Structure 1
Amino acid sequence: MWPWGHAAVGYLLCTLWLRARYGHRPTAGVVLPLAVGTQFPDLVDKPLGWTLGVLPSGRAGAHSLLIALPLLVVLWWHLDSRHGRTAVAGFALGYLSHLAGDGIYAVFDGEVLYLGYLLWPVTPLPPYEESAGILAHFAAAEVTPHLLLEVGLFVVATALWLVDGAPGLRVLGQWCMRQANAAASTLAGR
């Protein structure tokens, strides 16, 4: 699954869960960690596998439930405030939806051996098209029904995010402004 597909699935699951369980739309406190969680396994494994050669694949370490579940338990235990737990819940939903999203096509195609990454290193890694790097991976992309489905999901998720009030956008913008002001102050002081 492509990054926008992971983001879309994560947001759709999040908003459906919050609306069904609590009767409210997502907030920045859950959406921002959710966004990070939906990309986290690839942000860890792709550079370590494709660029540095530390992992045997771009879908190995952080894609394994044997890594993900203990990490999520430690985060849940360590961030025990209400806001911390909200953030961990968002991150966990994004992270776990990423792992499921990477296996969904294999499940539909009946190729369950392609789910080996979920229990790596106990189970062997599935054959997986490796890349010379993230830019090469994007450059090699082909328009397929799967890609079009993910783009469609992204459009739907983005529309729903906008209907929900674009949660997280203002907080992210404020953070960016603080960073820009801090950088400008540092440069002015030189």
Structure 2
Amino acid sequence: MAGAAVAATGAPDVFPWGHVAVGYLCYSLLTHLRGRTPTGAATIALVVGTQFADLVDKPLSWSFDLLPAGVLAHSLFFAVPFSALVLVVARRLSYTQLAGAFVVGYLSHLPADVLPSLATGDPSYWPLFWPAMARPGVDVSDPIVGPGAGAGLLENAAYYMSDFLPMLFSPIGVAYILFMVGVVALWLSDGRPGIGIIGRALGRVTGRSSHR
């Protein structure tokens, strides 16, 4: 989840671009505290990390109905040991910087999903502690919100987007837009890290296509 639509539970949801913004803000601040600026490769790794929890849980739940509570990678019981494993393996392979960026992105995703629910006065932090903490008030075989388990990625995505667009015209939406603009400004001031890598990759792809 990342952006900020109000779901059936009454709590705002977070869409992918929102998770990227939260993750980049965290990583940029941490990098600047060390007297550096984010590199292009690390920024790409960060972006992947911000989406990792949803890339694992959403297909397994929405498309294949394999997660009874709808979460696995959103739980600290999975995220912490997995992140530690990533860092250990990356250190041996000399990819520490990229792994660190990925882990920051991944771990920033988890509280980012929880914090919007604080605005409703009904914090929903059970995913962080699943399976030690069960989903409150519903049977684990039920969908979390929306079409839910087994309905497919497109149907669930359409459900959330139908809430996202009206939300942009609310006070929460204004705050969300200002936050996104602020993070984009930070990214620009950091020198647009990652854009060069994407540009070169697109150039290679389009170059190959033109020679066919």
TM-score after normalising by structure 1 = 0.84
Map of 1:5 onto structure 2: 18
For residues 125-144 of structure 1, what are the structure 2 equivalents within 5 Å? 125-126=135-136, 128-131=144-147, 132-141=155-164, 142-143=166-167, 144=170
Structure 1: distance between partners of 2:156 and 2:49 = 21
After superposing the two structures, state which structure 1 stretch, 137-146 or 7-16, moved more. 137-146
Residue identity over aligned pairs, in percent, reads 33
After superposing the two structures, state which structure 1 stretch, 96-105 or 47-56, moved more. 47-56
* Paired positions, count: 183
Q: Is the 8 A contact 1:37 1:91 kept in 2?
A: yes
Structure 2: distance between partners of 1:39 and 1:148 = 24
Map of 1:179 onto structure 2: 205
Map of 2:30 onto structure 1: 17
Map of 1:46 onto structure 2: 58
Map of 1:120 onto structure 2: 130
Q: Is the 8 A contact 1:51 1:133 kept in 2?
A: no
Q: 1:25 aligns to what SS in structure 2?
A: coil
Q: Is the 8 A contact 2:110 2:128 kept in 1?
A: yes
Q: 1:97 aligns to what SS in structure 2?
A: helix
Which ranges in structure 1 are unaligned for 5 or more consecutive residues? none
Q: Which amino acid aligns with 1:119?
A: F
Which ranges in structure 2 are unaligned for 5 or more consecutive residues? 1-13, 139-143, 148-154
Structure 2: distance between partners of 1:43 and 1:151 = 24
Q: Is the 8 A contact 1:10 1:35 kept in 2?
A: yes
Question: Which structure 1 residue ranges, 4+ long, deviate > 6 Å from structure 2?
Answer: none
Aligned-residue Cα RMSD (Å) equals 2.3
- Cα displacement string for residues 60-89 of structure 1 (whole angstroms, at most 9, x for unaligned residues): 111111111122111111111685111111
TM-score after normalising by structure 2 = 0.76
Pick one of 153, 158, 182 that aligns with 1:156.
Answer: 182
Structure 1: distance between partners of 2:95 and 2:103 = 12
